[in-house]
Amino acid sequence: MDLNYSTEELAFRDEVRSWLQANLPADLRQKMESYQELSKDDLLRWHKILARKGWVAPDWPEEWGGTSWNVVQKYIFEEECGFAATPPLIPFGLRMCAPVLLQFGTEAQKKRFLPRIYDGTDFWCQGYSEPGSGSDLASLKTRATREDGHYVVTGQKIWTTLAHYADWIFCLVRTDPNTGKRQDGISFLLIDMKTPGITVRPIVLMDGSQEVNEVFFDEVKVPVENLVHQEGKGWTVAKYLLGYERMGTGRIGASKRELQRLKELAAEHRKDGRPIMEDVRFRDRLTRVEVELMALEITNLRFLDQMRRTGKPPGADVSMLKIKGTEIQQSLTELMMQAAGPLAQAFKPMDAMDFDHFTARLAPRYCNMRKASIYAGSNEIQRNIIAKATLGL
């Protein structure tokens, strides 16, 4: 097992780092570092900068605009982006719908959707969770009935991230309610968000922001050609997609950046007249998180070495990255709150904040990060997956 970067990989890292420093707009970096909410224009601006460079979809085949990077280069790129505080590339089109189309889509579907996902013309969201069907996704009830060359969709999705920005949504729907196994009879549809009968209702979060939504479908007509894979076999597509989603939840580069900010904050702020970094209990917690982050990085490198040697993606073990990565992210926000003390408590209006001091957004960020251990399959579900598929329990 080789956990070290080669000379070529180190040169690639330096190239990526230099390019990011030169091309990441200062206002976007400042928004990320001060935890401001990003607009659709902000997200698409960075997307299009990377698309012009040819770096927006490294995982795609070269014929569709992907790079020729190996798995280690892709990992280096993601971690450098996290450490540089780049805006996130919204994954629903690039890293979720696109891989599904490349694996299961028809040629007509690929030619229609992939170029528009690549250049940012179409903004996508994900229609999976429903009221009562989140971790137990196979219990979903949104139905689709086939009529005269269309599916007529009726039902509701919830916690739909950025649906208020989206042009398209990919949805799991039940096309056959009479199967013995709940995972059967589910289909995967691509739905234009401008179709009559779709209503998006915002869910306002604790910090006053709107990130997630309810989406209602009232007899929405979807052309049959928007079915991906076979009717009733959408669960196969869903499992494939979730594997891609979980690979991106560790966010080691971003956590390294947050750890560095935390150390600066702990050295600056005082408790009982001394820097909080000198508090033994605080320093113990911080050290534990730093060690866990180092262990997570080594585990990720082990997966990369396996993929580099075998050419095969990791199996259920990837759930470890999701569990530990999100727990570390939450621990860092908790320690940020502790280090900032009373300065972290204010929920100020966005236009009234002093963004030169990022503590103004620590409390909202702490609240927002509670969801990290739930999305992409809750951490409890991930532990069940590891127990069954890896440990054989």
Query: What is the Cα–Cα distance from 35 to 363, expressed in whole angstroms?
Result: 10
Tell how many helices (H) and how many strands (E) occur in the chain.
13, 10
Closest by CA to 314, choosing from 36, 33, 75, is: 75
**Listed residue (248, 249, 252, 277) closest to 263, CA to CA:** 277
The H or E element containing residue 219 is strand 210-223
CA atoms within 13 A on the CB side of 88: 16
Structure tokens at 201: 């209702």
* Active-site annotation holds for 327: no
CA atoms within 13 A on the CB side of 39: 5
Which among 245, 258, 292, 334 is annotated as catalytic? 245
Token readout for 325 is 């990565």
**What's the token pair of residue 29?**
């970096």
CA dist., res. 258 & res. 252, Å (int): 10
Q: Are 382 and 322 in contact (CB under 8 A)?
A: yes
- Token pair, residue 192, equals 């234009």
The whole-angstrom separation of Cα 43 and Cα 137 is: 29
Contact 187, 173 (CB under 8 A): yes
β-bridge pairing 186-192 and 274-275: unpaired
Query: What span, in angstroms and rounded, lies between the C-alpha atoms of 69 and 118?
Result: 17
Select from 106, 224, 124, 105 the least CA-distant residue to 173: 224
Q: How long a stretch of residues is the chain?
A: 393
Which residues are catalytic, by number?
245
